[in-house]
Amino acid sequence: MQTIGHFINGELIVDDSPTQPVYNPSTGEVSKQVAIGGAKTIDDAVAAAKAAFPDWRKTPPLKRARIMFKFKELLERHADEICRLIGEEHGKIVHDAAGELQRGIENVEYACGAPELLKGEHSRNVGPDIDSWSEFHPLGVVAGITPFNFPVMVPLWMFPMAIVCGNTFVLKPSERDPSASLYIAQLLKEAGLPDGVLNVVNGGKDAVDAILTHKDIQAVSFVGSTPIAEYIYKTAAANGKRCQALGGAKNHAIVMPDADLDNVVNSLLGAAFGSSGERCMALSVAVAVGDEIADKMIAALKNAMQQLKIGVHSDKANDFGPVITHEHKQKVLGHIKSASEQGASVLVDGSRTMPAGYENGFFVGATLIDNVTKEMSSYQAEIFGPVLQVMRVQTMDEAMRLINEHEYGNGTCIYTRDGEAARYFTDNIQVGMVGVNIPLPVPVAYQSFGGWKRSLFGDLFMYGPDGVRFFTRRKTITQRWPSASVREAQQFSMPTLN
């Protein structure tokens, strides 16, 4: 059986690290083993990145960008293989995997603009014969810790921008689906990236802690659950590192009485059940304003859900696949059960869904739950599965209070034909990414991605302009070349321009 190792200093390495199984979620079978590196493996990767940094930081941004252009081409050329690896280890249907890859490629495209993004700022004659300008310098060795649900896209949020800014990088992907990250790292080497600039270490908590405490790592970027994000942020900060840690979500969609119902239903199906609900931007709660629209929406959803197809990743006709592990399946089923026990109505129950021929897979079918209240544990938690909960309120303000009072503030949207209502919503909702008749308001690559409240720890969002700022530090230079015939008198007060 294949053992997945690490990628350090340009080489695939299988060391003497202990291993753990990697499952095919569609079949429930062990498909590979993955080496679980610890502090020693992290030390080796950081040493390679540190050695590569001096030459890489001096490489002109245009040359770095040319490597990214080639990398983009290779990602597109090998898209089928990348999507296959995602499907085999995550379970994501091939069309969904292709969408994930495309969103990642768009971040590579943005990183190709490094010569423009790193230009800095210049001010002439800020004082007599004095010029001042800012430059953006790389930090050094930086690291990324990425989740299982987007094994390609989220790493591509991080290391392309970090690298074009002149940093070297250590990536710790999820040990649940590690192959795709290793594969794209090899493509980047093929594109011309010098050895040591990008390193990939598979591991668990020991590897994470080694990253957070390593003296030579300057910054850490993380995407995952809120409890882990908070731990990452606090530990990194305590060790003097810059950190951005994106956490969990409970994304609500407000459905107004005037909403286009067909649009609502089609949007909710994809946003709630796509990728088996394993998205931090999944719409997991529909808040219906008024019983009339709630009843119509639920009737239409129940009818449409009968047509959904669940199954193996390689069949493009399927809408979504399994969840990532048996343990996660049990967690999702537990939330469905608790909702019923606490008084909600499970209208469509996917607990017993088992596609023919894949009875041992980690499948949970599309589930619809009505009459959910904010006291229920299934509402308070991030279920991270194909479960759509419906809440009923009487006013838009009541719906907005639900969202603003929730501890998460990642994504939200409103369905309405009323421009005044939409404007009021976007102005006053306390959430980082907001949609109007858009179910998944994920910002494009040349903006930035991040939530509010306990969905983000740190000051800067992911990728886009904030990504440039996160992976660089500003240096401001003030310069004067005085005339040989002029001698400045001694001055003991703060310099000012009068």
Q: Which residues does the annotation mark as catalytic?
A: 280
Structure tokens at 118: 């790193």
DSSP string across 263-299: HHHHHHHHHHHGGGG--TT-EEEEEEESHHHHHHHHH
- C-alpha 131/C-alpha 477 separation (Å) is 8
Rounded CA gap, 51 and 195, in Å? Answer: 10
Residues 228/248, Cβ–Cβ less than 8 Å: no
Residues 268, 324: Cα–Cα separation, whole Å: 22
Q: Chain centroid to CA 42: how far?
A: 22
Strand-pair partners of 310: 320
Please check whether residue 177 is in contact with residue 151, taking contact to mean a CB–CB distance below 8 angstroms: yes
Angle between helices 61-77 and 79-90 (to 10 degrees): 70
Tell me the C-alpha distance between 92 and 293, whole Å: 32
As a whole number of angstroms, the distance between CA 20 and CA 3 comes to 9
Taking the C-alpha atoms of residue 372 and residue 24, their distance in angstroms, rounded to an integer, is: 33
Q: Are 148 and 362 in contact (CB under 8 A)?
A: no
Backbone angles phi, psi at 32, to 5 degrees: -155, 175
Asked if 93 and 101 count as a contact pair (C-beta separation under 8 A), the reply is: no
Q: Under a CB-based contact definition with an 8 Å cutoff, are residues 172 and 207 in contact?
A: yes
Give the length of the chain.
Answer: 498
- Token match 């931007």: residue? 281
DSSP-assigned beta bridge partners for residue 409: 452
Q: Which element (helix H / strand E) includes 23?
A: strand 19-24
Whole-number Å distance between alpha carbons of 21 and 38: 17
| Whether 339 contacts 333, CB under 8 Å | no
Which among 396, 348, 404, 337 is positioned nearest to 374, based on CA atoms? Answer: 404
Q: Rounded CA gap, 71 and 163, in Å?
A: 12
Phi, psi at 299, each rounded to 5°:
-60, -45
Distance CA 445, CA 468 (A): 12
Which residues make Cβ contacts (< 8 Å) with residue 498, sequence separation at least 6? none
Q: Are 450 and 432 within 8 A, CB to CB? A: yes
